[in-house]
Amino acid sequence: MGKSLEKREAREREKEQKNKNFYEKESYKWVEAIKNIPEFLQERKVN
């Protein structure tokens, strides 16, 4: 009984960690995109 519970908890932790990594990567992309918006707008004005 105890072993399957431990396995399940380990799987849950692994899943949470993957989600966390995914969200950190995604939010990093958004931060970079937002930083680039002013440059992007400048380029649009020039063209």
Query: Can you read off the two tokens belonging to residue 21?
Result: 């990594």
Q: Which amino acid is at 7?
A: K
In the chain, domain spans: 1-47
Q: In this structure, what is the dihedral angle of CA atoms 43, 44, 46, 47, given to the nearest 10 degrees?
A: 110
Tell me the whole-structure pTM to 2 decimals. 0.51
| Each residue's pLDDT expressed in tens, for the chain with a length of 47 residues | 688 999 999 999 999 999 999 999 999 999 999 999 998 888 888 76
| Separation of alpha carbons 43 and 47, rounded Å | 6
Whole-number Å distance between alpha carbons of 39 and 26: 21
Neighbours of 38 (CB within 10 A): 9
